[in-house]
Amino acid sequence: MRYPETIHASSEAMTFGQGGDAANDAAVQGAAGGGPLAAGPGDADAGLMEKFANGDAAAFEDLYRRHKGGVLRFFLRSLKDRDLAEELAQDVWAALIRARAGYRAEARFATWLYRLAQHRLIDHYRRAKLVGFSSLEDEEEALLPAAGVSAVTPEDVAHQRAAAARLVSLVEGLPLAQREAFLMQAEGGLSLAEIAEATGAGFETVKSRLRYAFARLRDGMQGYLP
């Protein structure tokens, strides 16, 4: 989970109500990326997907290994039920398999993948007649440092766990559209243009959603970030 680093980087550049829209827009661009929408030679995932479409099963295994965590977390942070989140994530991979023959690298693979995830989530809410989001599953262990990286004190661990719990709560509290844009950036690494393509929203609308999401998260994390 890269959220603390993402929010901290944004908080250094973003001062809402101070510095004007230019500073805020620069922060959102820096946090969400401004890469091109079209797939390019650097999109290794698109190459893997094309190999899979041509019958290379090992290429699918590589794609699954690289993106399974992000796709699952996208659903986990939108649903209260881990089993349901895993089911929807598997539905996305099943949809990918079914669509492989028609895949064209017209956009980054991640854009295409998270569009599938977004459509599956919308379909779930439509069928379940749900409105908004429920509580998130706590995954604060993702904030703990890797073994052998550095020694930490019990106080450090307690602080990190408290920060993780606070962050999960704040993400849960974001409005649906803001959360969706934030998770696509944080989990999928999508740029503003790619999020706009995946969600069908305008570029400026996505920028505004991310701006307000980062502001709410940053303000809510005061006292937890260095």
Question: In whole angstroms, what is the distance from residue 186 CA to residue 28 CA?
Answer: 12
User: Residue 169: its pLDDT value, please?
Assistant: 82
State the Cα–Cα distance between residues 96 and 25, nearest whole angstrom.
34
CA atoms within 13 A on the CB side of 211: 19
Supply the pLDDT for residue 173.
85
Could you give the CA distance from residue 53 to residue 97 in angstroms, rounded to a whole number?
8
pLDDT of residue 81: 84
Other C-beta atoms closer than 10 Å to the C-beta of 139 total 16
Residues, the chain: 226
The closest of 28, 2, 33 to 15, measured between CA atoms, is 28
What is the pLDDT, as a whole number, of residue 96?
95
DSSP string for 145-211: PPTTT----HHHHHHHHHHHHHHHHHHHHS-HHHHHHHHHHHHH---HHHHHHHHT--HHHHHHHHH
Residue 80, pLDDT score = 72
Structure tokens, 184: 């696509």
Taking 50 as the threshold, does the pLDDT of residue 155 lie above it? Answer: yes
CB 190 within 8 A of CB 181: no
For the stretch 6-58, pLDDT in tens is 444 444 333 333 333 443 343 344 433 444 344 444 578 999 999 999 999 99
